[in-house]
Amino acid sequence: MSRNLRGLSSRRGLNDSLYESITGTSPGADKPSDERLMAVAGEFMTGHAAVLSASSFYDFLQPSHHEKKVFMCDGTACLTSGKSEKVRRSLREKYAENEIGVITCLGHCHSNDAVLVNGEIRLCGSNDQPGTMRVSSNADMPALLTPTGEVRQYYSLAGRWIGLGEAALTELEISGLRGRGGAGFPFHVKVRTSRDATSDRKYVVCNGDEGDPGAFSDKWLLEERPHAVLFGMLMTGIITGADTGVVYIRGEYPLAVKRVREAVRQLEEAGIDTGKNGDAVTRFRFHVVEGSGAYICGEETSLLNSIEGLRPEVRTRPPFPAVYGLFGKPTVLSNVETFANIHYILEEGGAAWAAMGTVKSPGTKLVSLDGAFNKPGLLEVKMGTPLRTVIDEMGGGTRYPVKAFQIGGPLGGLVPASRIDDLTLDFESFAMEGFLLGHAGIVSVPEDFPVIKLLEHLFEFTKKESCGKCFPCRLGSARGLELLSGAAGKGEQIDSRLFDDLLETMQLGSLCALGGGLPLPVKNALNYFSDELKDYFTAKEA
């Protein structure tokens, strides 16, 4: 069924897409009514149920969302900061309680006081937009924080690589660039696989649906360095033979959507030639797609389904996107930070970029520091840097006692403060010690913040954001939340063996990292904070 719907959607392509017709996210479009959705089904020759199913998936399209006038963030960083109630009290001075909604997350984890009103991010209690965020690096030549400069000059590098696709791919391989979205998969493997695939059409897709509470690096790049991202996509297209790039940006980042659209317009007005097919010049076209509120769209196959106008549930793999991706065509799909590194690699050389990191984790990594730090904001850190250096020197330490750091988003490991000296900032160190670097967003857990409350929050987040396709995630998150809420709020004890079975089922049986990744921080908590949690669980049999 999905392949049939995908085929129907592909007939109209991206310029008149099923997704934007359903969601009304194209510039100037009205939000869809039931009558309009029925008309869309007819226009695309697809079933009413398929269109209604896709529309009902997104938070922004829910009637309850439209009734709200202002949205506050309920992400992990805002929760642990203790500022949420203060923000809500401030909003109550102007709005009724039923006019205040919540969003996860607005990407201002460094300040914990941002709200969304009238499609713009504002500081709580003010009409002012957020100011400049602190950024810094411990790299001698930052690959990502350096301004891109004049557009034509910046993109002139692409012209030097036209016709040298294999050489460019070799530089990417030498660099050892690994996906910065969390999985750390070798980027050159995706590019080579897509390049070698036989197809009449290929795509490049940038996953800008960064939804991990605590991470705002992609948001900053899209807002402040959009041309770095677009250049990386363009070069990927030159190497693979793709002529179309899609930037999918979460709707919770309205300024990022605006800035990337402006950058695309600048490219189009400059008329920069972006590729050659024999003697003919082929213009690489960009499409900016605005998300409609769904964390799961950060999962690559869910994102592809979303662009196609299908219900954005996770696909089973294989086939992988590099072979069967957008509209069933070979697609290189990677995240914002990954693409943003390509200009530096092709200008300075893959070896120079790799030398800034370790053998297995080359290059630099953007790290997001939440509002608990004395120097909150964004860091570009050389891979292999001691975590203690990142937290105490680059971040200035925390403003109050912290007992743990959740690193890598809601599915990332929970690192107790006592283990900081055992870790360096790279994929291998974190994995070897039983944690996950992931997106490298760092959320601080205060000394007085109950771990049981954090676990309840993580299960609630997973339950809310599950696409529902697989039972282990959909039912497991609901059952886990039920158990933890009973323990935290009603004094009920959780059967330890039952809970362990639940975690194992989610880890082994879930289709993607949402349900499959949640057990990691939970197990970390049970291991390192057993004394604090022991009264909430039955004793395990010897």
pLDDT in tens, 67-122: 899 999 999 999 999 999 999 999 999 999 999 999 989 999 999 999 999 889 98
Q: Exposed (0-12), middle (13-18) or buried (19+): which is 254, by Cβ within 10 Å? A: middle
Distance between CA atoms of residues 530 and 535, nearest Å: 9
Q: What is residue 29's predicted lDDT score, i.e. its pLDDT?
A: 56
pLDDT greater than 70 at residue 275:
no
pLDDT-based confidence at residue 540 (cuts at 50, 70, 90): confident
Q: Is 239 exposed, middle or buried (0-12, 13-18, 19+ CB in 10 A)?
A: buried
The pLDDT tens digits for 112-165 are 999 999 889 988 866 666 767 899 999 989 999 999 999 999 999 999 998 999
User: Residue 277: its pLDDT value, please?
Assistant: 40
Cα→Cα distances 523→135, 139, 416, 455, 496, Å: 33, 34, 12, 10, 12
Give exposure, 420-432, as e/b (b: 16+ Cβ within 10 Å): beebbbbbbbbee
Q: Express as a percent the part of the chain with pLDDT over 70.
A: 95
Query: Domains of the chain (ranges plus CATH)?
Result: 2-56 (no CATH), 65-123 (no CATH), 137-353 (3.40.50.11540), 357-446 (3.10.20.600), 455-533 (1.20.1440.230)
Contact between 337 and 330 (Cβ < 8 Å): no
Average pLDDT over residues 296-313: 94
Identify the burial level of 471 via C-beta atoms within 10 angstroms of its C-beta, where 0-12 means exposed, 13-18 middle and 19 or more buried: middle
The angle formed by the CA atoms of residues 233, 239 and 245, to the nearest 5 degrees, is 30
Q: Render pLDDT for 373-428 as a digit per residue (tens, 0 to 9).
A: 999 999 999 999 999 999 999 999 999 999 999 999 888 999 999 999 999 999 99
CA angle 516, 336, 54 (to 5 degrees): 60
Q: Could you tell me which of 186, 176, 209 has the C-alpha nearest to residue 58?
A: 209
Spatial separation of the C-alpha atoms in residues 427 and 525, rounded to whole Å: 20
For β-strands 364-369 and 331-335, DSSP reports them as: unpaired
Beta bridge partners of 122: 115
pLDDT-derived band of residue 280, with 50, 70 and 90 as boundaries?
very low
Give 468-523 pLDDT, tens digit per residue. Answer: 999 999 999 999 999 999 999 998 999 999 999 999 999 999 999 999 999 999 99
pLDDT at residue 129, rounded to an integer: 67
Distances (CA, A) of 117 to 68, 282, 495, 535: 9, 41, 44, 42
| pTM of the predicted model over 0.75 | yes
